Amino acid sequence: AAPRPVLTVRLECHSASDQSLLNDALRILSVEDPSLVHEEHEDGSTLLRGLGELHVEITLDRLRRERGLEVYVGPPKVAYRETVLDEVDTGMLVKFDRTVGGTRMEASLRLKLEPLNCPEAVAGDSECLPLIEPRVALGPQARDFLGLDPDACEDELMLRSETARALISGCVGSLRRGGPLGPHPLSNVLLTVMDVDAEGGPAQLQSMPGSLRAAAAHVLGEALRDKNHGSKCAVLEPAMAVEVSVPGEHVGTVLSDLTGRRGTVE
């Protein structure tokens, strides 16, 4: 698998036609180099993600030399993530009740968020954690209320049930929107929907699955912003191992520079 990007820059061209050429060129470059990721926005801009400043600079240089594209580059942003260090549990059903466009949306959820780390990382001495995409699980009580198969995996439930799809996608979207410290997208976490309720029962949620999507965003946001849970969240900073070769007379200067930038020298 390709390494995950750790740096993002915003790209804009002087004209819509050049912006289209830019996106076409980036599609080709991302096939050649899967660690290069680009995302097109409706406002006409493009986000380019790479493995670091040098990786992005080389890509921009290729765009200028090979495609003749002059691109405005916004300031770089590091791809931080957030995670939880300990369990965050709402402890009870939390109600969401809003009227949107004249339509009432109501649902109650109990959510539990806990750390998700691979056994190798826990057993090792390194402070670095491999990045794990957030997972969402539906607990037995939630499945029972929604009338879902107790043994099916979440991927199967999303294919079979619109309510399950709305609930899980709402949870995933909320995790990607970020935690209380950035916000940065949440990573290395397992979010379990422990219980679900609605005044009109499952039929109400089946007729308006968007209520579950909205409730997931509201309840998770409230749980993470709770002052009692604030100390349980942490920011994850990307780290990369590099090998540096320098002449002997410059070793001291280079070591000082690396440690001054919070680098760990082995």
Model confidence pLDDT, tens digit, residues 100-117: 888 899 999 999 999 987
Model confidence pLDDT, tens digit, residues 132-166: 889 999 999 999 999 999 999 999 999 999 999 99
Question: pTM for the complete prediction?
Answer: 0.74
For 36, 47, 80, 241, 242, the CA distances from 5, given in Å and listed in that order, are: 7, 12, 11, 14, 16
Quick check: 239 and 128 in contact, CB under 8 A? yes
Q: Please give the class, per CATH, of domain 7-78.
A: alpha beta
Q: How far apart (Å, rounded) are the C-alpha atoms in residues 67 and 57? A: 15
Backbone angles phi, psi at 140, to 5 degrees: -55, -45
Cβ-Cβ contacts under 8 Å for 42 (sequence gap 6 or more): none
Architecture field, domain 82-236: 2-Layer Sandwich (3.30)
pLDDT tens for the chain, residues 1 to 266: 677 888 889 888 888 888 889 889 999 999 999 989 888 876 677 889 998 888 999 999 999 899 888 888 888 888 888 999 889 899 899 999 998 888 899 999 999 999 987 655 444 455 677 888 899 999 999 999 999 999 999 999 999 999 999 999 999 988 988 888 878 889 999 999 999 999 999 999 999 999 999 999 899 988 888 767 667 888 888 887 788 889 988 889 999 998 888 888 88
Q: What is the pLDDT of residue 214?
A: 92
3-state secondary structure of 141: helix
User: Any idea where the domains of the chain sit in the sequence?
Assistant: 7-78, 82-236
Give me the helix-helix angle, 53-67 and 16-32, nearest 10°: 120
Q: Matching CATH topology for 7-78 and 82-236?
A: no
Quick check: 192 and 139 in contact, CB under 8 A? yes
**Segments in the chain forming alpha helices (H):** 16-32, 53-67, 119-123, 140-146, 154-160, 162-177, 201-207, 210-225, 251-260
